[in-house]
Amino acid sequence: MSSQVQASLLRQHLRDLQQMRQEAELFYRDMENKVVANKSTLNTQMKTVESIAFIGQCLIGVGKLVGMGAKSIGLVGKKLAESNAKVLKEVGSQAVGKTRGIGGLIYETENPFVDLALNFDSPNYWAKKITGVNPEVLYSNLLGQIRSAKSNGITKVDAYIKETQAKLRYCESGGDLSKIA
């Protein structure tokens, strides 16, 4: 086979490798974008669950207060004062309780007892503890694996491109590849 034919074949091979590299870039970028989008969706769902739990806990608290108030309707004097004190104590307790994890925030410290105290009424906290899955770590690891695979794959394709370019230069200068091997 002549060096011109070899050069023509190498040019086509080089174009194919370059196209493969572009497609790999797009593929990995698409995978990263999907992971980021899924993480965003999960974060929204977690905040929704926290909000629903918060509202439910507030409604339970209001129900308690209404019940306590209904019991005190017929009371007078000392009994009314005691009932009002109980209601105020309950209101204070609920106010303090609802400041933890407000707005779907999950507090994490290095101390498991502090974590429990801050998040005992958080569904997401318990989901993480029971399953042992931390979505932040999961997504971070997944993105790391995708980026590592991308780097390794693109590096290999780039090496083939360089090798093909060297062979092409050799053929274009009149060299015959069949005589090298």
Secondary structure string (H, E, C) spanning 93-146? HHHHHHCCCHHHCCCCCCCHHHHHHHHCCCHHHHHHHHHCCCHHHHHHHHHHHH
Q: Has residue 94 got a pLDDT over 90?
A: no
Give me the residue spans of the domains in the chain. 3-51+108-179
pTM: 0.63
Most confident range, picked from 60-74, 100-114, 120-134, 158-172: 158-172
The mean pLDDT value of the chain amounts to 82
Q: What is the pLDDT of residue 105?
A: 52
Q: Has residue 98 got a pLDDT over 70?
A: no
